Structure 1
């Protein structure tokens, strides 16, 4: 669920954003050196990205593969390997241990939103929210989305920020937005 404030911005700006997003959606997106096919689901595409091997390993360790292969739709903010590597030393190894599955699951589902929200939808929510949109994640936490120039920036509940580096990677069961940091719930 996504909550926003009362719309106040001009609809012409939203129309321009929607048109640009529709044009971008027609082009095949490459992520991690692999084509992302809209006919494949989130997992089937993610396993082909060399930039998301840590995320895929974490999704497997958390037991979320079947969930992210289901019809959804889902919006996934997908941290890169570099984003995971930027965490304090040993964090990823610790999270991947079976005894930490609950914590890993909470962190991963904090990057997932129920529903399909492409860049145009998120941009509209930010405009409608007077520069800010609050996004409810599957884990029950919230992310705050803001625009910084042409980039969407997400802020987690601990004040950490991530930038969307590749938007609108369409999947058969949703959309992925590649981000440059791991977002952390409270």
Structure 2
């Protein structure tokens, strides 16, 4: 997607203010398995390539890749980043009614789709250990500001990192630390929605 100058400056500001602070130090690996992925049949894709390239290499992200293309976000997510993407799996997208999914993929809905997708992106490289540390330091929760401008709340529920969106809906992290040259991907089981 070709951001307007304001949107680009907003994204860059968000990276400078939030994301880089999380990336400047290597946190110690906590003695917790809170970020261990839930049992899943997904295989971790190759660690080389950009976020888009890595997602394209995993068939469980094919709906996400199609949505990124429809929203014209490929160039952005191929950019230098770094980005942390909470990537909905195909099964996560299947939870959305088919009519809604089809509607969002239409050119007239490009801005709405872009808003939903960028709500899944956090500036900076926040790996599982760093996110777990943020949750612990936050007394059991961490607030993540997304590129879209909204927030997600990360907590640990029954040993699994769970994201809560603006409407109070939750999504579980089912796979962590899929490395890309410009960030990291964590797979989630439900699409989160901004206000």
- Normalising by structure 2, we get a TM-score of 0.80
Change (3 A) 1:16 1:65: closer
RMSD: 2.2
Aligned residues: 167
Matched, 1:17 2:30: yes
The residue aligned with 1:52 is 61
- Within a 5 Å distance, the mapping from 1:55-70 to structure 2 comes to 55-70=64-79
Any conservation in 1 of the 2:33–2:159 contact (CA below 8 Å)?
A: no
Paired residue secondary structure (1:71) = coil
Match of 2:113 among 104, 118, 126: 104
- Within a 5 Å distance, the mapping from 1:1-186 to structure 2 comes to 1=18, 15-17=28-30, 32-33=42-43, 36-186=45-195
Change (3 A) 1:47 1:18: farther
Paired residue secondary structure (2:178) = strand
Q: Offset at 1:148?
A: 1.4
Q: Offset at 1:16?
A: 4.3
Q: Which structure shows the higher strand fraction?
A: 1
Distance in 2 (CA, whole Å) between partners of 1:88 and 1:19 is 36
Distance in 1 (CA, whole Å) between partners of 2:164 and 2:32 is 27
Q: Offset at 1:149?
A: 3.2
Which blocks of at least 5 consecutive residues in structure 2 are unaligned? 1-17, 20-26
Change (3 A) 1:140 1:36: same
- Normalising by structure 1, we get a TM-score of 0.83
Q: Deviation digits for residues 53-103 of structure 1, max 9, x if unmatched?
A: 110000000000011111100000000111111012311100000000000
Which blocks of at least 5 consecutive residues in structure 1 are unaligned? 3-13, 25-29
Change (3 A) 1:60 1:102: same
